[in-house]
Structure 1
Amino acid sequence: MTFPDGVTTRPLTIPRTMDAADAGEFAESTRVRNEIYREITGSDHDALSPDELLPHYQPSPEEIRHSWIVLDDDRIIGRIGVDVPFEEGSRSAFWLIELLSAHHGRGIGSAAYALVEQTARDQGRTVLQSWAQHPDAPGRRLSAPTGFGSIPEDHAARFYLRHGYTLEQIERESALDLQASVDDVARLLHEAEAAATGYRVVQWTAPTPPERVDGYAWMKSRMSTDTPAGALEFDEEVWDAARVARHDRKTLDGGRTMLVTAAQHIASGDLVAFNELTIGSDRTAVSHQEDTLVLAEHRGHRLGLLVKCAGLRTWRAEVAPLSPRMITYNAEENRPMLDINEAIGFAPLAYNGAWKKVLS
């Protein structure tokens, strides 16, 4: 598959900092990225500044990130990315194709996908996985094999199906009104504290303090194995102090703040549940809830509710009191976490499809 006349690709220039002389291309590609997501979602919830995005494109021992820009007569109209994790025995590659809607229907996406698949094959990867948001629309729908949720068979879904992908899971994006939820959060936190006897809340903002690194690293490693994934394939990740430091550095170098709220088992001193909340340098912008996990052996004590509500209380009081909304993502079959979110006041905002193809 070749690109249409006038359309070309080239590797994205990754500057060392956004003050570098070669940073202009990265800044423009980020602007186009944000415009594409605004076209899809009708909002700026997914927008990132070049400073926030750049740390995630620096060299990493965890993965190699292949990135290209798509140009039409030297104007950036999209991006292509293939991430190849370095976990031992990994078969997977994760990819994205982002294209301004004015350029749909020209064969650019299919040409870009040929580059994605060839890159995965060159890296010895046979399991390709990708995510896309599918705004609700009338017409034919596709159901997830997990038995939870459906999406419209829209432009993006037809693209995946045409290229041999299967829909494996649906992910719910939810939003919480941070101002309206204060009383509910306080009430639910009181209930969770009463149920979580033998546990206490500990909190920190990145960077992770030395005494919390080992416990945090272990919980982060469990995120790759202990959350619902349907038939998607995720490698078991190995986290140590160095990886935690790199994770924290990406947050701080991007000018973002991350609050981690954890539950500590008092008798053993172990950290057994955690929740992450983040925001960029603009504390009046939308906030994001990232990883949340309760270790399997400590479930049944309302620790998920505990760390989420304790985090939200501190967030409103001390970190970002003027942030209007909190955005989070959960697998549609992850009913325990969705029950907690819905009790707090999170409401469905959109749905993403998780797509997979196994190469022959």
Structure 2
Amino acid sequence: MDLRRVHPLSDEPDDRKLFEEWLRVQEAARRAIFGEEHSAWSAQEIRGRRRGITHRFTDLAAVENDRVVGMLSLAEPLHDNPELALVMLAVHPDARRRGAGSAMLAEAERAVREHGRRVVQVDTEWPSGQQDDSGEGFAAGHGYSAGQTTIRSRMALPADRHQLQTLATSTDVEDAAAFEIEASWDGVPEAWLDDLAVLEQRMSTDAPQGDLQLEEEDWDAERVRADLQWALDAGRRLAVVVARDLSVDRLVGFTQVQVSAESPTLAYQQDTLVLREARGNRLGLRLKARAALELMDELPDVRGVRTWNADDNTHMLAVNAELGYVQEGHLRVWEKRLT
């Protein structure tokens, strides 16, 4: 088994070939779990992410008999959580149980130690009605403990426009009129950036984190701008919807949806947060309903919105249920502290 460095941004023919084979392993592994409903990243998305400024990436391919049989991506945050490393790992379905996954994970842990980090997180996923058999056995067998389980759900589009408009303009709470819902496509006004930085930072503390060892993230206007830009560089369309508290003229809630050029019929629901001090006004529901309306108007080919929510985030799961989301599967984050 040979482990080779992958260079997604290189134009060298050999590098491009290795990167393409690396991508095919990721897709094959995801298809084996969810079929056509997989969430594998495209080449353009990976390259857009590698041009970002928030993480350092190490990408490796496991090669057996001149064939790529495994892929690994190690992401290390650069602005916060200095002990944390995130691992994406996949083995081609017809090459499993031959040591590729173990070899890649061992190399990832070696690199993490070398970089002075100690906490490693890796994901597994499985469809509703099944068990996380292979992923759970692999993660637990290598000393990882379950840190958080999320529910993967999907909302079908187009949805009932009248119902969404009613939800987006909900006035069935006393202070509903004190907030305005606004939207922006493919970027945001400069005036939003500072407030969005606060919301993103609070996302790392206010949203359920299970038993994961995570510190508060460090956000500012430039990081918000860069985070939006990498998605655009990855060929995605994106809509940001915000809730403005008119009494203080500040943003107190937001949600974001993205649509990849490679899968133009599927939108991905990104972060959604309402500040604790503004909760109780059905703003989460209003934000997501407005986002669905934006998708229907701007990108009418979109046929669904996919999202992941912590299984103990009962409020947001209730919001999803009211919007018509249907559970599709689970994703579990496993964590290990290196010694």
TM-score greater than 0.5 by the shorter chain? yes
What amino acid maps onto 1:103 in structure 2?
A: A
Deviation at 1:193, TM superposition (A): 7.4
Cα shift readout 1:28-53 (whole Å, capped 9, x = no counterpart): 32233222211111224413321122
Match of 1:357 among 318, 330, 336: 336
Deviation at 1:352, TM superposition (A): 1.1
| 1:1-360 alignment runs, 5 A limit | 7-15=1-9, 22-58=15-51, 60=53, 62-88=54-80, 90-136=82-128, 152=131, 154-191=133-170, 196-281=176-261, 284-317=264-297, 319-360=298-339
What amino acid maps onto 1:337 in structure 2?
A: M
Gaps of 5+ in 2: none
How far apart, in 2, do the equivalents of 1:281 and 1:93 lie? 28
Question: What TM-score, normalized to structure 2?
Answer: 0.93
Q: Find the residue that maps to 2:321 and give its secondary structure.
A: helix
Moved more, 78-87 or 156-165: 78-87
Deviation at 1:119, TM superposition (A): 1.2
How far apart, in 1, do the equivalents of 2:262 and 2:163 lie? 26
Cα 1:283–1:159, aligned 2, differ >3 Å: closer, same or farther? closer
Moved more, 293-302 or 75-84: 75-84
Q: Find the residue that maps to 2:58 and give its secondary structure.
A: strand
Deviation at 1:91, TM superposition (A): 1.8
Question: What TM-score, normalized to structure 1?
Answer: 0.88
Of Structure 1 and Structure 2, the greater helix share is in: 2
Number of residue equivalences: 337
Deviation at 1:250, TM superposition (A): 0.7
Cα shift readout 1:18-72 (whole Å, capped 9, x = no counterpart): x775534323322332222111112244133211221112362x32111101112
What amino acid maps onto 1:123 in structure 2?
A: H
Cα 1:109–1:48, aligned 2, differ >3 Å: closer, same or farther? closer
Moved more, 205-214 or 191-200: 191-200
Cα 1:110–1:249, aligned 2, differ >3 Å: closer, same or farther? same
Cα 1:187–1:20, aligned 2, differ >3 Å: closer, same or farther? farther
Q: Percent same amino acid at aligned positions?
A: 28
How far apart, in 2, do the equivalents of 1:24 and 1:254 lie? 19
Q: Find the residue that maps to 1:69 and give its secondary structure.
A: strand
Gaps of 5+ in 1: 1-6, 139-151
What amino acid maps onto 2:148 in structure 1?
A: Q
What amino acid maps onto 1:57 in structure 2?
A: R
Deviation at 1:153, TM superposition (A): 5.1
Deviation at 1:341, TM superposition (A): 0.3
How far apart, in 2, do the equivalents of 1:186 and 1:268 lie? 25
How far apart, in 1, do the equivalents of 2:267 and 2:326 lie? 15
Cα 1:88–1:260, aligned 2, differ >3 Å: closer, same or farther? closer
Cα 1:99–1:192, aligned 2, differ >3 Å: closer, same or farther? farther
What amino acid maps onto 2:275 in structure 1?
A: L
Q: Find the residue that maps to 1:134 and give its secondary structure.
A: strand
Cα 1:283–1:73, aligned 2, differ >3 Å: closer, same or farther? closer
Deviation at 1:208, TM superposition (A): 2.0
Cα shift readout 1:186-243 (whole Å, capped 9, x = no counterpart): 3322435765221101111232221111111111111111110111022322222221
What amino acid maps onto 2:225 in structure 1?
A: A
Cα 1:34–1:306, aligned 2, differ >3 Å: closer, same or farther? same
Cα 1:175–1:137, aligned 2, differ >3 Å: closer, same or farther? closer
Query: RMSD of the alignment, in Å?
Result: 2.0
How far apart, in 2, do the equivalents of 1:342 and 1:159 lie? 33
Answer whether contact 2:52 2:230 (CA < 8 A) is retained: no
